[in-house]
Amino acid sequence: MRWLGVLLLVVAPACFSSLLRAQTAPSRLDDPIIEQRITKLLAQMTLEEKIAQTVHFADSSTGPGSPHTDYREQTAEGHVGSFENITGAAETNALQKLAVEKSRLHIPLVFALDVIHGYRTVFPVPLAMASTWDPSLVEQASRIAAKEASSEGIRWTFSPMVDIARDARWGRMVEGAGEDPYLGSAMAAAYVRGYQGARLDDPQSILACVKHFVGYGAAEAGRDYNSVEISEHTLRQIYLPPFHAAVEAGAGSLMSAFNSLNGIPATSNWFTLTHILRQEWKFPGVVISDYGSVAEAIPHGIAIDGKTAARKAILAGLDVDLEGNMYSRYLADLVRTGAVPEAAVDQAARRMLRIKFALGLFDHPYTAEPASSGKPQLDPAHVEFARTVAERSFVLLKNGENVGKSPLPLGPDVHTIALIGPLADSAPDMLGPWRARGNAADVVTLRTALTSRVQAGGGQLLYAKGTEILTAEDNGFAEAVAAAKQSDVILMALGEDPQWMSAEAASRAHLGLPGNQQQLLEAVAATGRPVVLIVFSGRPLSLTWAAIHVPAILQAWFPGVQAGPALVGTLFGDVSPSGKLTVSMPRSVGQEPLYYDHLNTGRPADGIDLTRPPRNDVEKYHSRYVDEPNAPLFPFGYGLSYTKFTYSPLELSASQLSARGLNDKTQPPLHVSATVRNAGSRAGEETVELYIRLRGTSIALPVKQLEGFRKLALAPGESKRVEFTLGRDELSFWNIDMQNTVEPAAATVWIGPSSTEGETADFIIEQ
Ligand code: BGC
């Protein structure tokens, strides 16, 4: 019951048409001519030359401590297949020349980089891009990243990260699309289409690498690299679908994860790497390990030496060793002693050669070098697009409710604005983690953009940093409070440090504002002037105090090079916020892992007042906390606009369906529709979300699960009808026998603005 097959009929931006195209994206990974060329080449290769294709160097510096000070010689001798972190047409061409002209068989290299959310033009972080709920924006941003990266010799990106993340303590949540497999699948396919384009051998296309296969986001207690236990059912139902969607969209490579999955490291996991990926999904591309993870079989405890680690990984189906240096050291010996069949090495080499052929590198190994030297300028069209994506990624969490009038958008009555906080004018932080070749100098900060806007309008801007992101030092508080007291409105730019708190190896046990930013917020709010809290973070923070005491909260994530202009346009109402959360925002860290599509339990707390401790047995013996409600502070799918949307009751084309008919496709799908109206006085964009619940099935299914979404642009007073279809793809699931099938069930469908609101109707799926 996953991501394909939702057919939508309204005349609005066509995010799903591109989603459906995913299935037909051409890939040259199954080209018989390429296979013949590979067979011919393999026949000429020595064992060492084949092993070279499984060797990937990430550290190619010549500095002290580098494992590959002789990387040029190794390239000329044909001992390495691919590199990472070398960029620039001249630099990559120079190394490529050694491979193509000096090595015995002239096999080209492929150069990789973590191009995660832009190359030079840095877009909002992936979690922010997902908050647009618009795969077509993600596809276009990825295409721009591909063009910029390929112009500097990069033809392979280690992106997208499609790990489902349900625990905000995990710092890498920022790199993915959030907690939901349906949305995650749509985003995964969009990235692949953008990077790989219509043809992989287009010099402006780069190979996608879908990571981290699999279960990495389910790290126990949210601690990065930690062990993972996931049942096969949950793996298939929740964690695998985005990978499958990316593979179906033609992704040419996958990266194995650092974690162990049910006791077996993902890098040497035959069940996932071979049974699922190759036997079930027929994946033709290459699988690369994560950084050094082949060797990590030793600390994981399934190998006591490097040789065993290498043997277990290659036999599980892991093709390329990313900087683990285990394949280069041990594979030849393992083959010669018969511990590993040469066919396993042949297969790994074949897959690597396949992507090089598919990228056209054998015919065009070099990158065109720019005519003039010096740093290339940012492309204004790319910058403009980065602003559009940022504007659409902001999530308005609160605006006015329970604390006076709505402060946003800022009106003509606002003359003096105080801008306070450590993220108001911090260019590097706007780039977020994984900034590829982005420059802080390209960033327009909130302070810079706001200064121009306020000056143009004849107003006054008072800026005070207030504090650092992570410090106990409060000597900036007095200046901040003084500025606040003189202003009509206060904008507070608070949040995380993207490098240290929101990325790899950046798990947090506390989810509040770091350092003394909460104290600063409270001190400023105590002035009684209206506060707009702008949160920069790579995860949902726990903003429980702010949600009660601060009139407006805008979740800005890390917005990229156009952070300032996008924020200013939003704050002043040039655009209305339209982003929605793709992760549940916790009230407190103790609620994690927290996600909307949980199972119901035998003792759900429906109808119980969870805002206070239980007062009797009736209130106590439920699945609940005694000291915190179960519900998130802001739920999955939630986000406000400056206008209001209303939903009509649902219309269903039938009230009964046949499970058998859906399975054998003789039963036409169910059509579910509603009319959405812009009932406010401003234009706005609404993401319409469709959820279902199935009861009475052989295995328990979530209380709600997303099975469709659609973006509608609506003028004031305008209505549009939105129609979804529910067929086999949406109504099937992995059942008790691990079959993907439709079962008889009592079904409920919702269409609405978030996972906790909407119009609802019931239908039956009979035998
Ligand atoms: C990360 C990967 C990344 C790789 C690049 C690792 O530390 O986990 O996501 O692609 O480094 O070498």
Burial 448-472, CB ≥16 within 10 A → b, else e: bbbbebbeeeebebbbbbbbbbeee
Higher confidence at residue 628 or residue 27? 628
Q: Is 729 among the catalytic positions?
A: no
**pLDDT at 162 exceeding the cut of 50:** yes
Please pick, among 180, 290, 346, 729, the residue that the annotation labels catalytic.
290
Residues of the chain with pLDDT > 90, as a percent, come to 92
* pLDDT tens figures, 467-487: 999 999 999 999 999 999 999
Burial 196-206, CB ≥16 within 10 A → b, else e: bbebbbebebb
Strand partners, 675: 721
The answer to whether 406 and 530 are in contact (CB under 8 A) is no
How far apart, in Å, do the first and last CA atoms of the chain sit? 17
pLDDT of residue 403: 55
Q: Please give the average per-residue pLDDT across 301-313, as a whole number.
A: 98
**pLDDT at 159 exceeding the cut of 70:** yes
Please give the distance, rounded to the nearest whole angstrom, from the Cα atom of residue 38 to the centre of ligand 1: 28
Percent composition of the chain: helix, strand, coil (DSSP 3-state, to 5): 35, 20, 50
Q: Is 56 in the pocket of ligand 1 (CB under 6 A)?
A: no
**pLDDT at 9 exceeding the cut of 50:** no
The ligand 1 atom nearest the CA atom of 211: 9
479: left (phi over 0), alpha (psi -120 to 50) or beta: alpha
**pLDDT at 651 exceeding the cut of 50:** yes
Helix H or strand E encompassing 82? strand 82-84
Confidence of residue 374 (pLDDT cuts 50, 70, 90): confident
- Dihedral (CA of 274, 280, 281, 282) sign: positive
Q: Please give the average per-residue pLDDT across 2-30, as a whole number.
A: 43
**pLDDT at 376 exceeding the cut of 80:** no
Residue 222 neighbours by CB distance under 10 Å: 25
**pLDDT at 521 exceeding the cut of 90:** yes
Confidence of residue 401 (pLDDT cuts 50, 70, 90): low
239 to 176, 259, 747, 763: CA distances (angstroms): 12, 14, 23, 28
Both tokens of residue 246? 């990316």
Please give the distance, rounded to the nearest whole angstrom, from the Cα atom of residue 291 to the centre of ligand 1: 6
Helix H or strand E encompassing 729? helix 728-731
Protein residue closest via CA to atom 4 of ligand 1? 291
**Amino acid code (one letter) for 136:** S
Q: Is 296 in the pocket of ligand 1 (CB under 6 A)?
A: no
Q: Is 434 in the pocket of ligand 1 (CB under 6 A)?
A: no
pLDDT of residue 4: 38
Q: Is 290 in the pocket of ligand 1 (CB under 6 A)?
A: yes
**Amino acid code (one letter) for 592:** E
Protein residue closest via CA to atom 2 of ligand 1? 290
pLDDT of residue 65: 75
Distance CA 515, CA 26 (A): 49
CA within 13 Å, CB half, 371: 0
Residues of the chain with pLDDT > 70, as a percent, come to 96
Confidence of residue 23 (pLDDT cuts 50, 70, 90): very low
Confidence of residue 18 (pLDDT cuts 50, 70, 90): very low
- Pairing mode of beta strands 733-734, 740-741: antiparallel
Distance CA 597, CA 599 (A): 7
* pLDDT tens figures, 739-761: 999 999 999 999 999 999 999 99
Higher confidence at residue 503 or residue 59? 503
The answer to whether 203 and 282 are in contact (CB under 8 A) is no
**pLDDT at 544 exceeding the cut of 50:** yes
Mean model confidence pLDDT for the chain: 95
- Phi, psi torsion values for 381, nearest 5 degrees: -70, -35
The answer to whether 185 and 242 are in contact (CB under 8 A) is yes
Q: Please give the average per-residue pLDDT across 720-725, as a whole number.
A: 98
Q: Please give the average per-residue pLDDT across 34-59, as a whole number.
A: 96
pLDDT of residue 68: 87
Please give the distance, rounded to the nearest whole angstrom, from the Cα atom of residue 161 to the centre of ligand 1: 10
Q: Exposed, middle or buried by CB within 10 Å (0-12, 13-18, 19+), for 507? A: buried
**pLDDT at 583 exceeding the cut of 80:** yes
Residues 6 or more apart whose CB falls under 8 angstroms from that of 553 comprise: 396, 397, 398, 532, 533, 535, 543, 546, 547
The preferred substitution site among 158, 162, 253 for testing ligand 1, maximizing ligand atoms within 8 Å of CB, is 158
- Pairing mode of beta strands 670-678, 253-256: unpaired
pLDDT of residue 483: 98
pLDDT of residue 27: 55
Confidence of residue 710 (pLDDT cuts 50, 70, 90): very high
Please give the distance, rounded to the nearest whole angstrom, from the Cα atom of residue 742 to the centre of ligand 1: 38
For residue 743, how far is the Cα from the chain centroid? 31
Higher confidence at residue 676 or residue 66? 676
Give the gyration radius of the chain's Cα atoms.
26
What's the 3-state SS for 641-656? Answer: CCCCEEECCCEECCCE
pLDDT of residue 375: 72
The answer to whether 172 and 215 are in contact (CB under 8 A) is no
* Axis-axis angle for helices 306-316, 342-358 (nearest 10): 60
Residues 6 or more apart whose CB falls under 8 angstroms from that of 504 comprise: 171, 172, 224, 433
* pLDDT tens figures, 585-636: 999 999 999 999 999 999 999 999 999 999 999 999 999 999 999 999 999 9
Distance CA 532, CA 550 (A): 7
Please give the distance, rounded to the nearest whole angstrom, from the Cα atom of residue 53 to the centre of ligand 1: 19
The answer to whether 205 and 359 are in contact (CB under 8 A) is yes
Average the pLDDT over each of 49-63, 242-256, 387-401, 515-529 and give the range with the smallest value: 49-63
Q: Is 291 in the pocket of ligand 1 (CB under 6 A)?
A: yes
The ligand 1 atom nearest the CA atom of 159: 10
**pLDDT at 22 exceeding the cut of 80:** no
Q: Hunting for tokens 């026949």 — which residue is that? A: 43
Residues 6 or more apart whose CB falls under 8 angstroms from that of 167 comprise: 173, 217, 218, 219, 221, 222, 592, 593, 594
* pLDDT tens figures, 86-112: 999 999 999 999 999 999 999 999 999
pLDDT of residue 406: 82
Confidence of residue 412 (pLDDT cuts 50, 70, 90): confident
